[in-house]
Amino acid sequence: MRLIDEQRNGILVLRIDEKRVDASKAPAFKDEVAKRIEAGHSQVVLDMSGVEFVDSSGLGALVSCLKRIGPRGNLAIAGASGAVIRLFSLTRMDRVFSLHDTVDAAVEQMSS
Amino acid sequence: MRLIDEQRNGILVLRIDEKRVDASKAPAFKDEVAKRIEAGHSQVVLDMSGVEFVDSSGLGALVSCLKRIGPRGNLAIAGASGAVIRLFSLTRMDRVFSLHDTVDAAVEQMSS
Amino acid sequence: MSVGIKLLIDSDLDKVALLARAVRALCSDVLDEDSSHAVEISLVEAINNVIKHGYEGKPGRNVGVVVSLRPDHVEIEVIDQAEPMEASLLSNASGDRFEFDITDLDALPEGGMGLALIQMNMDEVEYHAGQGENRLRMVKRHAQRTPSS
Amino acid sequence: MSVGIKLLIDSDLDKVALLARAVRALCSDVLDEDSSHAVEISLVEAINNVIKHGYEGKPGRNVGVVVSLRPDHVEIEVIDQAEPMEASLLSNASGDRFEFDITDLDALPEGGMGLALIQMNMDEVEYHAGQGENRLRMVKRHAQRTPSS
Ligand SMILES: Nc1ncnc2c1ncn2[C@@H]1O[C@H](COP(=O)(O)OP(=O)(O)O)[C@@H](O)[C@H]1O
Ligand SMILES: Nc1ncnc2c1ncn2[C@@H]1O[C@H](COP(=O)(O)OP(=O)(O)O)[C@@H](O)[C@H]1O
């Protein structure tokens, strides 16, 4: 699971450097994000602009991250497109996650 | 084998309305073109702009058309791109056939 | 005139993407983007289930997919030789799975979404178990021919 | 870490495009355009030969292709159960086939180009016949790792 970390105004921007977040990658993804949350990050933007496909395991991992960060933290998703957006809509998760076109937009809203 | 016929200044413009000209289509293609040559067409532009892939059978069919039209007739190819051009180059057939970017360019040269 | 091809991987989650990419390329010749995605997500969920539940994560077993492109629909069959699943799990699955309370964080689903996604995305879904082989048959009709879909 | 998938069609020229499209989609994830085309044309020529010559155009026989994406190359194996071909036909084939006189219309080739195209397009080509099964193994290395290609 390739993740690229970046800090912006105390927000962790995590770029998913994989084309697919599926059952083969979801467990590692969940663990990697959990590690960062345990380390104290409670404001996280996931940059999914490079992701072309997510299955229900990947989606479940995202939900797990959201739960772990908890109601006092913040998890936003940036750059989801095409098949990824379609999955969010189908499962009504577009109403659960805070979705943004770009990382900048997500960071800006989280900072304000 | 889908071919679309059009006449321009006494030139037959034949558009190949198939994405692939391969062993499953080459015999029918050869027959269809032969029919038109027998019917008196000796100036022919093949519009290959919609074709994405040609194999050696398709290429052989094109050579057969060229032979049938003979040295007194004219066969030009328009709009070949990508994989099609690559096959022509590999087999040196780019030196045998008269290749043009567009149908217009092919018709113009044939008319002059 | 039907045109069919069979694809085979062994029961390894790392290989599911290969199958998915190949099948997507086949479908995209005749289906639009949304329908191609519908087939891809359904196929991936079905294969993940075979590997994770049917074969219990054991490697070295076969997962087959037959793709047939027909004039008005695409048919996908997922074939395995695992213990069959309880057929009612599939027939009871539906989009209701996603009628959760979006304000109740703890109640959001982290799993159990695959069969529902299959039902929501495909026009026909049939499961046949028997003779040591299970077949999940899924049909996606071309969008332009089914204005109601 | 290799990732492999097997594709099967029956011996029907109408199905070769399906195989080609699926394999192309797999390759295009790791190979550039030219290398993907090199694999596609080689694969199509090999399969056409199996169907036309090996199975003599008879339908209902199997043609298999195993695709393995490895860190620095793509490996394609074409597998059939036909009579083997004369191996020297393949080993003698080369780009020399296209050293014809371009001014001699009658002498231009209309066939006999497939094996030459395979040799020209792939980095390794091996043919194994035996035990009722023939395997044509073809390797395409990633362009960036073989500056000489
Ligand atoms: N191929 C299968 N073989 C056996 N059991 C299956 C199979 N597919 C699904 N199931 C059962 O149905 C349940 C629901 O499947 P699904 O909706 O895909 O969600 P998940 O796989 O996340 O649990 C699984 O947990 C499993 O118990
Ligand atoms: N799989 C095969 N089985 C038997 N013979 C073959 C096979 N492949 C090729 N050949 C023989 O080699 C010859 C050259 O093949 P090729 O270069 O592909 O050109 P073509 O198929 O147009 O004749 C064929 O005509 C055939 O006699």
Of chain A, the percentage scoring pLDDT greater than 70 comes to 100
Answer with the residue of higher pLDDT: B52 or C149. B52
Q: What pLDDT score does A47 carry?
A: 98
The finding on whether C61 has its CB within 6 A of some atom of ligand 1 is no
Rg for chain C (alpha carbons), in Å? 16
pLDDT digits (tens, 9 = 90+) for D63-114: 999 999 999 999 999 999 999 999 999 999 999 999 999 999 999 999 999 9
Torsion-angle region of residue D59: left (phi > 0), alpha (psi -120 to 50) or beta? beta
CB contact, 8 Å: D16 with chain C?
no
C114 Cβ closer than 6 Å to some ligand 1 atom: yes
Interface of C with A (CB under 8 A): 13-14, 16-17, 20, 33-34, 37, 40-41, 44-45, 48, 51-52, 95, 98-100, 102, 105-106, 108-111, 113-114, 117, 120-121
Q: Residue D1: its pLDDT value, please?
A: 39
**pLDDT at residue C143 greater than cutoff 90:** no
Check whether C111 has a pLDDT greater than 80: yes
Minimal C-alpha gap between D13 and chain B (Å): 5
C58 phi/psi in degrees, rounded to 5 = -75, 135
- Ligand 1 proximity of C112 Cβ (cutoff 6 Å): yes
Complex confidence, ipTM: 0.93
Q: At what angle do helices C16-27 and C33-49 cross, to 10 degrees?
A: 150
CA atoms within 13 A on the CB side of B106: 27
User: What is the C-alpha separation between B91 and B83, in angstroms, rounded?
Assistant: 12
Sign of CA dihedral C80, C84, C85, C90: positive
User: Ligand 1 within 6 A of C27 CB?
Assistant: no
**Residues from chain C contacting residue D9 (CB–CB below 8 Å):** 4-6
- pLDDT number for residue B90: 98
Q: Is A82 helix (H, G, I), strand (E, B) or coil?
A: coil
Summarised one tens digit per residue, pLDDT across range C42-88 is: 999 999 999 999 999 999 999 999 999 999 999 999 999 999 999 99
Question: Between residues B23 and D130, which one has the greater pLDDT?
Answer: B23
Closest residue, chain B, to D24 (C-alpha): B53
What's the sign of the alpha-carbon dihedral B76, B78, B81, B83?
negative
In DSSP terms, which residues pair with C138 in a beta bridge? C76, C125
Q: Considering only CA atoms, which residue is closest to atom 25 of ligand 1? A: C112
A63 contact C CB<8A: yes
List pocket residues of ligand 2, CB cut-off 6 Å: B 56; D 45, 49-50, 53-54, 85, 89, 111-116
**Is the confidence at residue A54, as pLDDT, over 50?**
yes
pLDDT value of residue C130: 87
pLDDT (tens digit, 9 = 90+) per residue, B5-42? 999 999 999 999 999 999 999 999 999 999 999 999 99
Q: Residue D130: its pLDDT value, please?
A: 87
Residue closest to B21 by CA, chosen among D88, D17, A89: D17
So what's the pLDDT on residue D35? 97
Which residue of chain C has the CA closest to D18?
A: C26
Per residue in C124-138, pLDDT (tens digit) is: 999 999 889 999 999
In the predicted model, is pLDDT for residue D146 greater than 90? Answer: no
